[in-house]
């Protein structure tokens, strides 16, 4: 999986702080982004988070380029309705025939017998896809035979409020391993650009209360434990 930050709102921490200040001050927004006024208030952003005044987070957004994610994980990703997505089409783009076009779960990669069965099934499905295309079947119909684990490419945009929500759900130990890894990489990128805004982003067990009906029984102690858990 490859995740890169394609674009983001400039000065995200400062912009959220200015958006919050305008609620309580009689000053034009443009002034709040200048000189002394622009000084970032870590305490202010922290208070926004704890008071739930997180509509201010919606003013900044982050756009990611994601390659090599399986369609298993992308199906979960696109359930996040407040995000914007553009995904490689299997109707218009002919799929690769090589085994690397399919994501291999670590549990299978680390089991030689399982790996052999898996690679064999991938080859069968890719051979069938190729034959159907050669018979003149359209890509949109031939793709029905492709595995769920086939990799895809996406451009995804989320605002910071939605990112917080996404991270709280998908950095949970009970989240599926691939979307967990995607969320982890996205959070690293977000923290580089907006360290204050994303200081308290992460799994609900660290910053809030576990919302899972069946808890993992092993909550993360802190964000460092979470961020270094999966490499």
Ligand X SMILES: Cc1cc2nc3c(=O)[nH]c(=O)nc-3n(C[C@H](O)[C@H](O)[C@H](O)COP(=O)(O)OP(=O)(O)OC[C@H]3O[C@@H](n4cnc5c(N)ncnc54)[C@H](O)[C@@H]3O)c2cc1C
Other CB atoms within a 10 A radius of the CB of residue 146 amount to: 18
Min CB(72)–ligand X separation in Å: 12
- Residue 42 is among the residues annotated as catalytic for this protein: no
In the complex, the smallest distance separating the C-beta of residue 83 from ligand X, rounded to whole angstroms, is: 6
Nearest approach, Cβ of residue 79 and ligand X (Å): 4
Chain center to CA of 110 = 25
Strand, coil or helix: 87: strand
Nearer to ligand X, 25 or 174 (CB): 174
Catalytic residue among 71, 161, 170, 184: 170
Q: Which residues bind ligand X (CB under 6 A)?
A: 79-82, 162, 165, 169, 172, 174-175
With the CA atoms of 184, 186, 191 and 197 taken in that order, what torsion angle do they form, in degrees rounded to the nearest 10? -100
Note whether 24 and 47 are within 8 A (CB): no
Q: Cα(193)–Cα(151) distance, rounded to whole angstroms?
A: 28
Closest contact distance (angstroms) between CB of 187 and ligand X is 15
Closest C-alpha among 101, 164, 90, 166 to residue 132? 90
Find, among 212, 219, 164, the residue nearest to 186 by Cα.
164
Nearer CB in complex with ligand X: 21/165: 165
Which is nearer to ligand X, 76 or 126 (by Cβ)? Answer: 76
Give the sign of the dihedral formed by CA 25, CA 30, CA 34, CA 40.
positive
Residue 150 or 165 having the CB closest to ligand X: 165
List the catalytic residues.
170
């Amino acid at each position: 999986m490859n995740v890169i930050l394609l674009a983001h709102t400039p000065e995200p921490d400062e912009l959220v702080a200015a958006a919050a200040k305008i609620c309580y001050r009689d000053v034009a927004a443009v002034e709040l982004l200048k000189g002394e006024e622009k000084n970032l208030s870590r305490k202010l952003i922290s208070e926004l988070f704890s008071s739930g005044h997180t509509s201010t987070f919606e003013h900044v957004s982050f756009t990611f380029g994601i390659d090599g994610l399986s369609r298993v994980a992308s199906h979960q990703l696109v359930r996040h309705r407040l995000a914007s997505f553009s995904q490689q089409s299997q109707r218009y783009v002919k799929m690769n025939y090589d085994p690397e076009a399919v994501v291999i779960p670590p549990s299978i990669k680390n089991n030689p017998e399982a790996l052999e069965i898996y690679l064999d099934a991938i080859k069968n499905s890719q051979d069938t896809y190729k034959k159907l295309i050669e018979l003149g079947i359209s890509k949109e119909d031939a793709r029905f035979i492709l595995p769920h684990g086939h990799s895809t490419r996406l451009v995804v945009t989320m605002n910071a409020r939605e990112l917080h929500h996404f991270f709280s759900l998908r950095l949970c130990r009970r989240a599926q391993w691939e979307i967990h890894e995607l969320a982890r990489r996205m959070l690293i990128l977000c923290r580089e650009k907006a360290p204050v805004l994303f200081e308290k982003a992460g799994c609900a067990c660290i910053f809030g209360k576990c919302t899972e009906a069946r808890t993992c029984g092993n909550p993360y102690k802190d964000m460092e434990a979470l961020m270094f858990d999966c490499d």
